[in-house]
Amino acid sequence: MTDRTDRASFTEAQIAAFRLHRHHLDVRVPSSHLPNVVRDVCGVQAQVTAMARIALWARLRDLTVDDVERALEQKRTIVKTWSMRGALHLLASNELLLYLRGLMPTRLPREQKWIQRSGLKEDETTAMILDALKGGPLTRAQLVGYLAKRLGTKTKDWMDGGWGHKTEGSNTAWQLVRPAVIRGLVCFGPSQGQQITFTRVDDWLREPPSMPAEDKAEDALVRHHLSAFGPADVADLWAWSGVYVRRLRVILDRLREELVEVDQGDRHAYLLKKDLRDLEKAATDRGAVRLLPSFDPFLQGHRRRDHLVDRSRYKQVYKDQGWLAPVVLLDGRVTGTWSYQRGRGKLGVDVKMFTPFSKETRAKAKEEANDLGRFLEAPDVTTRLY
């Protein structure tokens, strides 16, 4: 990398404006760009469906809930799967295997250990999963039933694996399906009521992508992160992806000719050289206000978050057990938290300000709440700011 004297230097406002623009949080883009937005923000965490939808609403103009569901279940331009940090994400379908391949060296061995400890072989259990799904998507219960019959006495409970109810063999089945997902062979299918389903990727996607080489996928993963969250360092990459730090250092070394160091105080932060011009001309102080949901991607790209929220307010945003509060974002910084309550045709939005909002910021926050009401099909909106 470059010597310290060669590092570029930018103001916090420039860096914030650059990241806001890359996340489409300065100006919303047309709803037809939905798959591109999912790609640009490096996936949208989707443990809570409502929060994933709101993350997309915050970036896409005139978006509807139906638009999201059509992209996921009809057009299939986005796909739901376990991804970064082992969390459930929406990814652009044409980049599904790129992400999974880039994460595979870290994630697959972890899951294989569970299977090996039970006396099973991962290649055999993955083949069972694919055989079970050859007739189409299956619910969790249906997949459990199939595997229990095939495994018989080998099926046992290891731990509460997240099925949501106790069924003999269900916890084992939860672990058995993970390698097939990590390998890009299986993804989440269409929901059946309140039940999730699993399906084969080669059956589900219109144009299944091809599996890239490991180093190409790893390099692309790091490039994508720096494009959306840069400047960033190895700790940021680790916190976002879950990839081992030692492996990330090897990837950064491979990409050294594409990178430039940016002065971030006591840190070695990196940016793609091709993004220098965009960072230099980033428009600051636009007064952009957004209501971001829990788990919004903008809040999860870095290890240290002083640039996002004051330390005195940190625990009000980043809570215990990985939970994130919905936040009010003003020009790239968290200036408050918010919550909502829905009724028939009604939406109540409560905003807790960290410091008093200006008249202009209050008006913009209310505009955002009103458009959220449109998105959630609740036209009667009441906004309270405290």
The alpha-carbon radius of gyration of the chain (Å, integer) is: 22
pLDDT band at 141 (very low <50, low <70, confident <90, very high): confident
- The predicted model gives 82-98 an average pLDDT of 96
- Whether 153 shows a pLDDT value over 90: the answer reads no
Q: Measure CA of the first residue to CA of the last residue in the chain; give whole Å.
A: 48
Residue 272 phi/psi, 5-degree rounding, is -65, 135
Residue-level pLDDT at 118: 78
User: Are β-strands 289-292 and 259-264 bridged in parallel, bridged antiparallel, or unpaired?
Assistant: unpaired
Which tens digits make up the pLDDT trace of 261-316? 998 777 789 999 999 999 999 888 788 999 999 999 999 999 999 999 999 999 99
Distance CA 92, CA 137 (A): 20
Other beta carbons less than 10 A from residue 324's beta carbon = 18
**Which helix or strand (DSSP H or E) is residue 220 part of?**
helix 214-229
- Whether 154 shows a pLDDT value over 90: the answer reads no
User: Are β-strands 29-30 and 78-82 bridged in parallel, bridged antiparallel, or unpaired?
Assistant: unpaired
Residue 17 phi/psi, 5-degree rounding, is -65, -40
Residue 198 phi/psi, 5-degree rounding, is -115, 150
- 43 or 145: which carries more pLDDT confidence? 43
Could you give all domains of the chain from N- to C-terminal order, each with its CATH number? 93-204 (1.10.10), 289-385 (no CATH)
Residue-level pLDDT at 114: 84
- Specify the pTM: 0.92
The dihedral of CA 142, 143, 147, 148: what is its sign? negative
Which tens digits make up the pLDDT trace of 10-50? 899 999 999 999 999 999 999 999 999 999 999 999 999 99
